[in-house]
């Protein structure tokens, strides 16, 4: 089934204990689309400025990513982010940030995309996420991401968004903040009560927790990756693998969601193995399926 992502496209400079990657391609929509393309076609919606140096046609060549929703705004500049990861690779400092095109109006959904069945609204203001969602006709399953800044400063819009989507994917700190409880199960139930059917909480090297409105619970550890060079985009790659598998199957029951979470976990483990998109561009679907089998073997008893 059809899958659409809308989110950021970035020019990143990333420093980690393993090196520096300057002026590299990043952004939530880019990582998501690359990850999801292993499972099926992806409809890409995002905006860049005239200063963007990347060739997206070449980047996604052979990957069935439809770029009809990519806007190049001649009088704008591309979103830029500089970040430093510290020794444990979980702690990150934002050194520099320019919103640029992200502070403008959202991109338009092409007419040919409006019938999309599976949709992911990557991290941006909840108001913009709602505006983008309202451009679609009748999606079957909508996932979204958010962050602490929107939880604290845009609570009204965020609560409105949660009534319009099916699945929220956030990290552990965001879950505690939004759910107003340190206990993960209580926080998860509080978020479910806000309107979503499924909550997925990413716990970094501790894996993830999936919780449904029917109080179904699934815990999965992270894949034990030997190489962690750059965690940038890990969460978006996780979401891309997850949503990509759901769109591939056309199903959203809890058993399918559990396998989708496992696929997302595996795809993210490849993304962190190198800077920018290099980790994802070096693999194919057979590599992903092989690592999924390994993860299944490691978690059975």
**What pLDDT digit, counting tens, does each position of 88-141 carry?**
877 789 999 999 998 899 899 999 999 999 999 998 889 989 999 999 999 999
Q: What is the mean pLDDT of residues 250-258?
A: 98
Cα torsion 136, 74, 83, 97: sign: negative
pLDDT of residue 174: 95
Question: Is pLDDT above 90 for 71?
Answer: yes
**What pLDDT digit, counting tens, does each position of 201-251 carry?**
999 888 999 999 999 999 999 999 888 999 999 999 999 999 999 999 999
- Please provide the average confidence, as pLDDT, over all residues in the chain: 95
CB–CB of 295/265 below 8 Å?
A: yes
Q: What is the mean pLDDT of residues 289-297?
A: 97
pLDDT of residue 204: 86
Where are the domains positioned within the chain? 3-299
Q: 3-299 has which fold?
A: 3.40.1190
Q: What is the mean pLDDT of residues 238-266?
A: 98
Q: How far apart are CA 26 and CA 46, in angstroms?
A: 12
User: Which position has the higher pLDDT, 106 or 162?
Assistant: 162
Start-to-end CA distance of the chain, whole Å, equals 34
pLDDT of residue 50: 96
CB–CB of 2/92 below 8 Å?
A: no
Structure tokens at 3: 């899958």
- With CA atoms as reference, report the closest residue to 235 among 145, 158, 296, 124: 145
pLDDT of residue 158: 96
Question: Is pLDDT above 80 for 30?
Answer: yes
Question: Is pLDDT above 90 for 64?
Answer: yes
pLDDT of residue 124: 85
pLDDT of residue 225: 85
Question: Is pLDDT above 90 for 87?
Answer: no
């Amino acid at each position: 089934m059809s899958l659409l992502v809308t989110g950021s496209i970035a020019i990143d400079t990333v420093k980690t204990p393993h090196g520096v990657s300057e002026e590299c391609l990043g952004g939530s929509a880019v990582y998501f689309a690359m990850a999801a393309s292993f499972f099926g076609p992806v409809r890409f919606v995002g905006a860049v400025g005239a200063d963007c140096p990347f060739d997206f046609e070449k980047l996604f060549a052979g990957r069935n990513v439809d770029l009809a929703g990519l806007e190049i705004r001649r009088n704008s500049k591309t979103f830029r982010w500089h970040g430093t990861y510290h020794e444990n690779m979980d702690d990150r400092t934002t050194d520099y940030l320019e919103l640029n095109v992200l502070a403008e109006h959202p991109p338009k959904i092409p007419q040919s995309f409006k019938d999309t069945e599976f949709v992911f609204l990557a991290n941006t203001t909840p108001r913009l996420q709602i505006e983008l969602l309202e451009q679609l006709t009748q999606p079957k399953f909508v996932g979204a991401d958010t962050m602490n800044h929107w939880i604290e400063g845009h609570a009204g819009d965020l609560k409105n968004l949660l009534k319009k989507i099916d699945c929220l994917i956030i990290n552990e700190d965001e879950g505690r903040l939004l759910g107003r409880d340190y206990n993960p199960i209580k926080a998860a139930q509080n978020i479910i009560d806000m309107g979503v059917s499924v909550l997925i909480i990413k716990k970094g090297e501790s894996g993830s927790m999936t919780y449904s409105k029917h109080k179904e619970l699934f815990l999965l550890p992270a894949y034990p990756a030997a190489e962690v060079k750059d965690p940038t985009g890990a969460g978006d790659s996780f979401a891309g693998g997850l949503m990509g598998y759901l769109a591939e199957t056309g199903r959203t029951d809890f058993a399918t969601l559990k396998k989708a979470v496992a696929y997302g976990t595996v795809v993210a483990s490849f993304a962190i193995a190198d800077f920018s998109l290099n980790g994802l561009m070096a693999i194919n679907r057979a590599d992903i399926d092989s690592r999924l089998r390994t993860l299944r073997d490691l978690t059975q008893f």
